[in-house]
């Protein structure tokens, strides 16, 4: 339930308690609402003090192979409405790799979705990712990627859709849009949070790297 919904529920329970002060069931519901509000307030505080992970970088300073891999999907993504948004690097993620890792973000015109791409070598094994990600205003993420890429599993804050390894970029983007549309239809008042700035991309990266 969204933070505002818990507060609305608390107000309703308080009104009912005023009419039925002896109701043990209502008192339990009130405690549950208060606990949920406190947890979400604590989560919001943790996000607000989170140290930024990404730094903006110049792609030409990275290896030819990484530049090539980040450039490879650009033409197809452009035909799907995605343009290069920014290039970044994560010092902690790069420390796990043989060399600094270039992370490229492509954004659509609305800011509703970004495509995140990188390639790296970790533990002597090549690792890559090309994922479509959207952020909702309840702080939930929907991520769509292909099998055999960086392993990412669903958790309480991230819904992951894994397509077949050979899925096209068109399928990746359209399947992702469909997943987001389903979630929007299922929750009245829910909206997508635009991803446009380095800070926005940093939030997306935390959802990926924290997974």
Q: Which two tokens stand for residue 24?
A: 């043990």
* Helix segments in 20-73, DSSP class H: 24-48, 64-71
List, for residues 37-82, the tens digit of each pLDDT value.
777 765 654 444 456 789 999 999 999 999 999 999 999 999 999 9
Instruction: Indicate yes or no: pTM above 0.85.
Output: no
What mean pLDDT, rounded, does the chain reach? 87
Q: Return the pLDDT at 46.
A: 47
Residue 41's CB is within 10 A of a number of other CB atoms, namely 11
Cα 201 to Cα 207: distance, rounded to the nearest angstrom: 10
Q: Could you tell me which residues come within 8 angstroms of residue 91 by beta carbon, excluding any fewer than 6 positions away?
A: 53, 55
Confidence at residue 17, expressed as pLDDT on a 0 to 100 scale? 78
Q: Which of 98, 104, 99, 144 is nearest to 124 (CA)?
A: 98
Count CB neighbours of 109 within 10 A: 8
**CB-CB neighbours of 108 under 10 Å:** 21
Confidence (pLDDT) at 182:
95
Element containing residue 184 per DSSP (H, E): helix 169-185
83 sits in which H/E element? strand 82-89
Q: So where are the chain's domains?
A: 3-48, 55-209
* Residues of the chain scoring pLDDT < 50: 1-3, 45-49
């Amino acid at each position: 339930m969204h933070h505002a919904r818990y507060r609305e529920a608390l107000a309703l329970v308080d009104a009912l308690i005023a009419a039925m002060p002896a109701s043990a069931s209502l008192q339990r519901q009130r405690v549950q609402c208060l606990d949920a509000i406190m947890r979400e307030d604590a989560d919001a505080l943790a996000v607000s003090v989170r140290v930024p992970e990404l730094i903006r970088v110049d792609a030409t300073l990275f290896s030819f192979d990484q530049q090539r891999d980040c450039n490879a999907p650009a033409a197809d993504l452009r035909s799907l409405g995605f343009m290069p948004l920014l290039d970044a690097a994560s010092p902690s993620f790069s420390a796990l790799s043989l060399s600094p890792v270039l992370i490229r973000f492509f954004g659509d015109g609305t800011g509703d979705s970004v495509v995140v791409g990188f390639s790296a070598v970790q533990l002597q094994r090549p690792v890559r990712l090309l994922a479509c990600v959207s952020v909702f205003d309840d702080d939930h993420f929907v991520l769509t990627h292909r099998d055999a890429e960086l392993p990412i599993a669903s958790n309480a804050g991230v819904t992951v859709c894994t397509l077949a390894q050979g899925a096209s970029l068109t399928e990746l983007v359209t399947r992702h849009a469909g997943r987001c549309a389903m979630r929007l239809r299922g929750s009245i008042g829910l909206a997508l949070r635009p991803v446009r700035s380095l800070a926005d991309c940093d939030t997306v990266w935390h959802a990926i790297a924290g997974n």
